[in-house]
Structure 1
């Protein structure tokens, strides 16, 4: 499940929707699936290019507010998105937690999805694991698939 050289956590799933629908679910419907329910997400900024701002605020059922501010490091449409919270817009250093990587590979009419979180330290990786990485990112992948399937059916 993990590559200790990168302090990496990863999930992999087959999403029963074509890559185009998975991509559109990311670009146009992120707020619908980005965090496990009953949490909800609000997209503040999505400048999908290297150096572009990524800002999503998550809201919990007990009034929790978790802003996620960062930048995109690499964007290859319908194939790969790499982002980090190590910087905020304008390459301002921030308190880094991880580099996130979403990869999409077509498999017939379906998509092989890989989601990885690479951490600067073993402690940060352990913290993310303890926060429920596997369950959380797994649930998010299910929600993402549901949105992508809806888009594919349109």
Structure 2
């Protein structure tokens, strides 16, 4: 997948070498996307790029709430990530990090903080922006090599398919 995206009015560009940004226009409303992002049963359907899956999601959609995902995939891939939701604005944005776990206890190694934005385009579609902010340039490069643009782009399409049915 081509990671080059034409920047249009309202879209966000990376602010430095530690940020990765993905923007898509999705055929779903901000309310539908927000619900798909904050309902565990819905998140398990779209959160990991196929053939990976997310069999477990725990989310408390509030500022300071727990955010845990377990991903599984080919070659015995298993990733259990627990973090916190820093900011939750219904139908507008979600910010989460893996820097802290429940009860604001620091995790062993923070990798990134994500900001998810839902901008209503007024025609039943939404400008969806995912920003991954890393603590180091090396972490951002590693995330990019892991397939940030392709994987998060595929996940955005999967999210759209789930949200559009709500």
TM-score w.r.t. structure 1 length? Answer: 0.93
1:62 Cα deviation (Å)?
2.5
What is the CA deviation profile of residues 104-136 of structure 1, one whole-angstrom value per residue up to 9, with x for unaligned ones? 011121111100100011111111011111101
> RMSD value over aligned CA atoms?
1.2
The CA deviation at 1:139 is 0.4
User: 3, 17, 23: which one pairs with 1:12?
Assistant: 23
Normalised TM-score (structure 2): 0.86
Distance 1:127 1:93 in 2: 22
5+ residue gaps in structure 2? 1-12
Aligned match for 2:15, one of 3, 27, 40: 3
Q: Residue in 1 aligned with 2:151?
A: 136
Which portions of structure 1, spanning 4 or more consecutive aligned residues, are displaced by more than 6 angstroms?
none
1:18-54 per-position Cα deviation (integer Å, ceiling 9, x unaligned): 1111112112211110010111103342011111110
Q: Which runs of 5+ in 1 are unaligned?
A: none
Q: Which has the higher strand share?
A: 1
**How many residues are paired up?**
150
